[in-house]
Amino acid sequence: MKKWLALLLVVVFVFAVSGCGTPTPPADDTGDDAGDAPAALKVGMVTDAGTIDDKSFNQGTWEGILLAATDFGLETRYLQPGGTTEADYITEIGNLVDAEFMFVVCPGFKFETAIFDVQTRYPDAKFVLIDGFPHAGDWTPVVNDNVVSIFFTEHESGFLAGLATALQLGEGEVGFIGGMEIPPVQKFNWGFQQGVLYANENYDTNIVMNAENFIYQGTFDDVAAGQVLAAAMYDKGVDAIFAAAGGVGVGAINEAKTRASAGENVWIIGVDVDQYAEGIYDGASSIILTSAMKYIDVAAYDMIEAELNGAFPGGQILTFDASNYGIGIPKENPNLDPEVVEKVAAAFAEMQAGTLAVSDVQGDLIK
Amino acid sequence: MSVFAVILGLIAGAILMIATGNNPLDGFYFLFRGGLMNIERVGNTLATATPLIFAGLSVAFAFKTGLFNIGGAGQMLIGGLCATAIGLTFDWPKPILLAVIIIAALIGGALWASLPGLLKAKFNVHEVVSTIMMNWIAYWIIFYIVPQYFKGPFLETESQRIPAAASLKVPWLTSLFSGSFINLGFFLAIIVVVISAFILERTTLGYELKAVGYNRDAAGAAGINVNRNVILSMAIAGALAGLGGATFYVGFASNMQIGVLPAQGFDGIAVALLGANSPWGVFAAAIFFGILHTGKGFMNAMTAIPPEIADTIIATIIYFAATSVLIERNWDKLLKFNRDNLLRRKKKESLEVEAGGDQ
């Protein structure tokens, strides 16, 4: 009996090993870069903490890549690191490059030091870093010619969402749930507050903001905590919560949907992408008042297009703001009145003209 | 480590690949190539395996005393915090700094885990419950202390970068493995495996710990101080996990992030199971897991297997391999049972024949 088992194992093992010995590699294996200049671009992406369908940052980037892939006929792939350390990110970027994905998009500030490493490790590959710039750990930007670094003016986006919220509510109280206390989230928060204050001053709205309702949960994935925080705020009388918190925001959205189904009048302001569809309850209405958007997908698409046209803006730090339509609220806002949308559009035009400035630092604002 | 279990795990992974419409031969080819294809990847495999060796040893050591240490993640965090705190605070020459970092991580992990040990010994609080809760206490301590005392100029969510003098990464090793993350932690792991094997197999302490694991009452009746050994076993397990934390946070990674329980702490359970709780078995199992974790991304990149399926495949291989150790053990029992039956029957037959012959 034991002999049979041993024999079976040997057969299986030989099968496995011989399988390894005679591979059937796809079209082109690594290592032969002689004369492959006109080969189609292969675009890869490494996800930040969270999954590809996070309804915000990862998903936005990926959708931009997919759109470019259909428009230009590219091969695409995304990898999900096993952890969130620099080593994990470098490993996955290396996997893409070794598989000849020579154009890699990395969404998130956490990639900063990893990109700093790989920009010299893989000089033939191109990298797009969203929301950060490469540095050695000392915050001195070192952007090589094969890297472009992209920032968004989250404070402008937050401002427009805050203004829209204040105008639509007219009177009431708003709160904020952030993910981690990192610059992009902080800027969303500060911009949002400025938008509300602007409405209070210029349009006679009466919106209250209490410091106790401006909270950073501390993660981007604790759905249950988002629900608890949102419930606490709604119980304290908050009418609308700006949730810039990834998965934590999903929890807040769930809480709002439950309450809205029960007849309460509560709202969430979405973030990064148009989250209207995420907030739909009872089939027709959505608890998403509007969303403070960053056009991450457009940024990813534009960079791929630029690379294909031979105009990759390597070595640069780009800012996507109101002036180049990099941020804004969604085009369709079923929950906003037309005159609110008009006033927000006016503010957007003033931003573009440079007559309306939004601060990206805390100043006298809450947290 | 059980080769049988590994093969069962790989077969389970292959079935999953076939079920999702992928060619398992391609999948495994790129998986192992990704883990072993060049010297850099071999280095990364060993670097990935390093914290797993410690975490696996931690679980295995406690298990020898009949304790189930699920607190590896928390003990790693505390060990890592001690290492990070010292690395960021003191500006000593590298050899001294590293020695102090390692000792601090060891002590930190040991103290952290001896608390559940104490609760178990004095009040019979089950260590599974208390170590899990200790994980979350550690998690929130890091959450508070790192941003409060060790954060960089901008980010609230991670510590400053570990200076080169406090890192287990050394330039000669990195360049030897052409830019890999391998660090001195791997050699520390080998030393610790040897020491653990020695303690368990060759010392009175090891004998007592195992005696308590086999049968507490019998050990107590034989004059072994059970409570002392329970606390000691947890402390050693914690020290091992604490060392793992040091190799993870100042070796593999280069800073400490808040809001993350290191997955290695839990993978250590599977490593220990697959390694049959023996130090060298744990070592081999951790390297096997290292290959899987390092090769996964390359398999993803070279085949059409999406990352989520790849994660599932890796998890299937790991947990199937780990649990089939149990199947294998029972298999042996089953074989033994059959053999005994056979022997008994033969004996009976021969007796009958003898009896018949007498007639």
Q: Give A39-62 pLDDT, tens digit per residue.
A: 689 999 999 877 888 777 888 899
Query: Do the chains contact at A137 and B254, CB–CB below 8 Å?
Result: yes
Q: Which CATH number does the domain housing residue A54 bear? A: 3.40.50.2300
Q: List CB contacts (< 8 A) between B156 and chain A.
A: 180-182, 216
At residue A20 the predicted structure's pLDDT band, cuts being 50, 70 and 90, is: very low
The CA-CA-CA angle for residues A307, A313, A317, to 5°, reads: 135
Q: Of A168-177, B5-14, B329-338, which gets the smallest average pLDDT?
A: B329-338
Q: Is pLDDT larger for residue B234 or for residue A4?
A: B234
Residue B203 pLDDT > 80: yes
Using left for φ > 0, alpha for ψ between -120 and 50, and beta otherwise, residue B179 falls in left
How distant, in Å, are the alpha carbons of A56, A223, A225, A270, B55 from that of A246?
6, 9, 12, 10, 31
The answer to whether residues B76 and B55 touch, using CB atoms and an 8 Å cutoff, is yes
Q: Is A3 exposed, middle or buried (0-12, 13-18, 19+ CB in 10 A)?
A: exposed
Tell me the two tokens of residue A281: 């309850």
Taking the C-alpha atoms of residue A20 and residue A23, their distance in angstroms, rounded to an integer, is 6
In a shared domain, residues A206 and A349: yes
Tell me which chain B residue has its CA closest to the CA of residue A221. B259
Q: For residues B217 and A101, what is the distance between their CA atoms, to the nearest angstrom?
A: 62
Q: How confident is residue A285, by pLDDT bands cut at 50, 70 and 90?
A: very high
Q: How far is CA B84 from its chain centroid?
A: 21
CA distance B278 to B275: 6
> Is residue A156 very low, low, confident or very high in pLDDT (cuts 50, 70, 90)?
very high
Q: Do A136 and A280 share a domain, yes or no?
A: no
Query: By CA distance, what is A17's nearest residue in B?
Result: B29
Cross-strand bridge partners of residue A107: A130
Closest by CA to B179, choosing from A118, A321, A207, is A118
Nearest CA in chain A to B31: A20
Q: Is residue A28 part of a domain?
A: no
Judge contact between B55 and B72, C-beta under 8 A: yes
Cβ-proximal residues to B15 (8 Å cutoff; 6+ apart), any chain: none
Helices (H), chain A: 2-21, 57-72, 86-98, 112-121, 154-169, 183-202, 223-235, 247-261, 296-308, 338-353
Considering the domain boundaries, does residue A363 fall inside one?
no
CB A260 within 8 A of CB A130: no
Helices (H), A57-182: 57-72, 86-98, 112-121, 154-169
Our CA angle for A71, A301, B310, nearest 5°, is 85
Q: How does pLDDT run across B183-200, given as a tens digit for each residue?
A: 999 999 999 999 999 999
> Looking at residue B1, what is its pLDDT?
56
Q: How many CA within 13 A on the CB side of residue A23? A: 17
Residue B336 has pLDDT above 80, yes or no: no
In a domain, A19, yes or no: no
Least Cα distance to B248 among B116, B75, B68 occurs for B75
**Are residues A341 and A211 both part of a single domain?**
yes
Is the distance from CB of B99 to CB of B318 less than 8 angstroms?
no
How buried is residue B20: exposed, middle or buried, by Cβ count under 10 Å (0-12/13-18/19+)?
middle
Residues A175 and A252 in one domain: yes
| Chain B contact set for A87 (CB, 8 A) | 44, 47, 181, 252-254
Residue A139 has pLDDT above 90, yes or no: no
Q: Tell me what the mean pLDDT of segment B36-47 comes to.
A: 94
**Are the C-beta atoms of residues B130 and B113 closer than 8 Å to each other?**
no
Which residue carries 């010392």 as its tokens? B203
Question: Within a 10 A sphere around the Cβ of B169, how many other Cβ atoms?
Answer: 20
Is the CB of residue A179 less than 8 Å from the CB of residue A217? yes
Query: From the list A25, A98, A182, which residue is nearest B155 (CB)?
Result: A182
Are A176 and A314 in a shared domain? no
Q: Is A92 on the interface with B (CB under 8 A)?
A: yes
Is A314 part of any domain? Answer: yes
Spatial separation of the C-alpha atoms in residues A22 and B25, rounded to whole Å: 9
Rg of chain B taking only CA atoms, in angstroms: 23
For residue A201, what are the domain limits?
154-293+337-353
Q: Is the ipTM of this complex over 0.90?
A: no
Query: What is the length of chain B?
Result: 359
pLDDT in tens, A189-236: 999 999 999 999 999 999 999 999 999 998 888 899 999 999 999 999
How many domains does chain A fold into?
Answer: 2
Whether A322 shows a pLDDT value over 60: the answer reads: yes
Same domain membership, residue A306 and residue A180? no
| φ/ψ (deg, to 5) at A98 | -65, -25
The residue with greater pLDDT, A138 or A300, is A300
Averaged confidence pLDDT in chain B: 90
Residue A292 contacts residue A157 (beta carbons within 8 Å): yes
What pTM, to 2 d.p., does this model score? 0.84
Nearest to B29 among A19, A83, A87 (CB): A19
Count of CB atoms within 10 A of residue B316's CB?
19
Beta strand ranges found along chain B (DSSP E): none
What residue type is B14 in one-letter code? A
Contact B257 A84 (CB under 8 A): yes
Reduced to 3 states (helix: H, G, I; strand: E, B; else coil), residue A50 is: coil
Domain boundaries, chain B: 43-277
Both A191 and A271 in a single domain?
yes
Asked if A270 and A215 sit in the same domain, the reply is yes
pLDDT in tens, A158-197: 999 999 999 999 999 999 999 988 889 999 999 999 999 9
Does residue A65 sit in the same domain as residue A196?
no
Going across the sheet that includes A240-244, the strands are A206-216, A171-178, A240-244, A267-272, A288-294, A327-328
Residue A27 pLDDT exceeds 70: no
Whether A119 is in a domain gets the answer yes
Banded pLDDT at A350 (limits 50, 70, 90): very high
Between CA A40 and CA A252 the distance in angstroms is 43
pLDDT higher for A26 or A309?
A309
- Does residue A90 lie within any of the structural domains? yes
User: What is the number of other CB atoms lying within 10 angstroms of the CB of residue B94?
Assistant: 13
Q: How many residue pairs from chains A and B have C-beta atoms closer than 8 A?
A: 116
**CB-CB under 8 Å, B32 with A16:** no
